[in-house]
Amino acid sequence: MKAKTIINIVSKDKSFLTKIPQLFKMLRQSLQGKYKPGRNNIFIFSFLMLYLLSPIDLIPDFIIGIGFLDDITIAFFALNKLFREVDKFTEWQKKKDSVITIE
C-alpha cells in the first residue's frame, strides 16, 4: 500500500482520533484485569511497539523518501486492527455501565 493511499484514508476518516483515548483506556483496563482483549490484539500491540522502537527495519530509515514507509504501513495495519478491538471495548464498557446491581 502506498503512503499516499494511507494518508488519504487517514485524512478522510477522523474517527480514529476519538479512538486514541479509548485505546489507552482499554490498555489500562486490560492491565488491571478488568477487560480481556483477544490474544491476537495483545500480540499485535506488543509487536507494533517493539517494531517501532527497534533499530532494525525492513527498509532502513536513513533512505530518504521511503525509509519510514515500512513503519507507517505496519503502524497503520496494526492500529486498524486495534481500533476494531477498541470498538468492542466501547460496546463492552456501555454494557458494563448499563447493568444495575440491586443489593
Higher pLDDT, 21 or 39: 21
Query: How many Cβ atoms are within 10 Å of 75's Cβ, its own excluded?
Result: 15
Can you give the pLDDT at residue 49? 84
Q: What pLDDT, in 10s, does the model give residues 42-85?
A: 888 888 888 888 877 777 777 777 777 888 888 888 888 888 88
Mean pLDDT of 10-26: 75
Higher per-residue confidence, 64 vs 30: 30
